[in-house]
Chain A
Amino acid sequence: EPEVTQTPSHQVTQMGQEVILRCVPISNHLYFYWYRQILGQKVEFLVSFYNNEISEKSEIFDDQFSVERPDGSNFTLKIRSTKLEDSAMYFCASSGERGNYGYTFGSGTRLTVV
């Protein structure tokens, strides 16, 4: 069964450093997403990406965040200057079409900011 692949599985970074989280969505999917889950809290939407541009973003997704699809397979989330409160599990997901298709999630990247 096709999978969404995320790397690294765990990243520790110092406050103020830039991090890039990487994802390889399912190859024939068209929508790509980033979600995060702070320990003990709900899974929260960050951003959706379609046709090489952001289609929706949440209030969390401020100027410190950016997304990119640099080639035909990778989808990245960059945090420019990490804060302690950015520590969370970050999930990448993809879906086939708008509307009725379900999501497939990756196994996540645990980001720890120290």
Chain B
Amino acid sequence: KQEVTQIPAALSVPEGENLVLNCSFTDSAIYNLQWFRQDPGKGLTSLLLIQSSQREQTSGRLNASLDKSSGRSTLYIAASQPGDSATYLCAVKGVTGGGNKLTFGTGTQLKVEL
């Protein structure tokens, strides 16, 4: 059964810092990995999608890497801003099973302070 873990659970940084969020998964048989942002009480906004054959994806100040064989992904946020404060979730889409489901981590709650 796929298990997804995210470290740290919470992070508080001053504005302008570069930071790294970590995600690990136990079953490397995946189609892809997706990073989401969730604001309090809100839905899930997709940030980056990395296919299993890719090593990284970039969007603006965000860069996500994937090492499928070791079951790890990192989300790098450059020059953090207060507007980046949110919970960041990683989720993997497994190959096994008929439905293509996502398995989510518990998230990293990020607070960027002025």
Cβ A102 vs Cβ B101 within 8 A: no
Question: How many chain A residues have a CB neighbour from B under 8 Å?
Answer: 30
Q: Would you call the interface of chain B mostly helix, strand, loop, or mixed?
A: strand
- Which chain B residue shows the least CB distance to A97? B100
Task: Show the binding face of B for A, using Cβ within 8 Å.
Answer: 31-32, 34, 36, 41-46, 49, 51, 89, 91, 93, 97-107
Tell me the total A-B contact number using a CB cutoff of 8 A: 68
Given A102-B34, A102-B46, A103-B34, CB of A48 within 8 Å of CB of B105: no
Cβ B43 vs Cβ A45 within 8 A: no
A2 interface contact, C-beta 8 A: no
Task: Show the binding face of A for B, using Cβ within 8 Å.
Answer: 31, 33, 35, 41-45, 47-48, 50, 54-58, 89, 91, 95, 98-100, 102-108, 110
Q: Would you call the interface of chain A mostly helix, strand, loop, or mixed?
A: strand
Cβ A91 vs Cβ B31 within 8 A: no
Tell me the smallest distance from the CB of B83 to a CB of chain A, in Å: 18
What is the bound-complex CA distance between A45 and B93, given in angstroms? 11
Cβ A45 vs Cβ B42 within 8 A: no
